Amino acid sequence: MKASAKDGIDLQSGKGRVVALCGGVGGAKLAFGLSRVIGSDLTVVVNTGDDFEHLGLLISPDLDTVLYTLGGIANKELGWGRADESWNFMEALRHLGGEAWFQLGDRDLALHVERTHQLRSGRSLTDFMRTAAERHGIASKILPMSDDPVRTMVATSAGMLPFQRYFVEQRCAPEVNGIVFDGAAAALPSTEVLAALQAPDLRGIIICPSNPFLSIDPILAVPGIRKLLDAAQVPVVAVSPIIGGVAVKGPTVKIMDELGVPATSRAIAQHYGGLLHGLVIDEVDAAEGAEIGGRIHVTPTLMKSDEDRERLAREVLGFVDMIAADLQPRAKAVG
Ligand code: GDP
């Protein structure tokens, strides 16, 4: 079955809770839209595979991107970090000859210092992020995928690199041969993540347009999470991060090329295997929709403004509700 906005998606209908799986910048744009539309009914489960320790600080780049984006204080000029930033700390660090490959703004630094302090005093990352979200006036829940450490390692032509060394220090230049998630097999999803995915009033699960290999796969690698998505009795819908064969930003297409995967929305659907009930693709890829098969919603997916984010969020929710209306148990048919 195919659907488009014109095919009668009802943008007002459903009720209940929504879980969104999300990485950093790309995913956070849709999470922002969803948060504007459904507020406290949204739980964002965020990748922590990119987390690392730097200068003695515990840094969670994707969680912080989601926090700043939903809190309305993301730095739109830079495309990362927080707005209204100053760089005195970095200047002083450079002066001392310290490691300056990872940029930490002064205001951003406060988050890392406080998180490190709280976690070393025994608080969980989940608990810390709950307070941080409240302090930023965010009604939606922002949950790390796990409170246990999972570390994305990238096997490259330059050897095995911790994710941030590959992504920031080496600017994704080395060729990627594979990706592993150290610690994932032993990690537990938090009770909050398990509860969100099994909420009795769950409306749907949305996989944001994040990098499937680097941002979503680590979440699915936490034991139990993939199984819950697989068994979900509510629609599981993804938004493709590929528009017209290119990624809006970041190394998604470069990595797909290097791993021998075509840079198409069809490949994204196939990558998620039997998890999806539906896929949202961009209008420039409309012709691909028929090839993918299953429930496809075609719409502009490039989110430049807050209004774009909110509009796409409403459409994705409408698509979820449309699928829910005729959901046959286990009728996963995309890819
Ligand atoms: P990262 O962890 O900061 O790299 O962010 P994500 O993994 O969440 O997002 C990266 C992906 O987001 C890339 O594949 C981009 O193509 C995709 N992306 C970014 N902005 C948009 C957008 O406006 N629309 C769509 N469809 N994808 C986007």
pLDDT tens digits, one per residue of 296-322: 999 999 999 999 999 999 999 999 999
- How far is residue 20's CA from residue 31's CA, in Å, rounded to a whole number? 7
pLDDT of residue 326: 82
Ligand 1 centroid distance, CA of 302 (Å): 10
- Look at domain 17-334 and name its CATH class: alpha beta
pLDDT score recorded for residue 25: 95
Does position 6 have pLDDT exceeding 50, yes or no? no
- Is 215's C-beta closer than 6 angstroms to any atom of ligand 1? yes
| Ligand 1 in reach of 212 Cβ (< 6 A) | no
Q: How many A from CA of 252 to the centre of ligand 1?
A: 8
- What spatial distance separates the first Cα and last Cα of the chain, rounded to whole Å? 13
> Mean pLDDT throughout 201-224?
97
What is the arithmetic mean of pLDDT over 46-65? 97
Residue boundaries of the structural domains of the chain: 17-334
Is the confidence at residue 29, as pLDDT, over 80?
yes
Q: How far is the CA of 118 from the centre of ligand 1 (A)?
A: 30
Q: Is the model's pLDDT at 153 over the cut of 60?
A: yes
Q: Which of 75, 218, 246, 63 lies closest to 141 in space, CA to CA?
A: 63
- Per-residue confidence (pLDDT) for residue 5, from 0 to 100: 41
Q: How many Å is the Cα radius of gyration of the chain?
A: 19
Ligand 1 site, residue 81, Cβ cutoff 6 A: no
Q: What is the mean pLDDT of residues 214-239?
A: 97
Say how far apart CA 62 and CA 84 lie, in whole Å: 19
Identify the residue whose C-alpha is closest to ligand 1 atom 1.
24
pLDDT in the model for residue 332:
65
pLDDT in tens, 159-194: 999 999 999 999 999 999 999 999 999 999 999 999
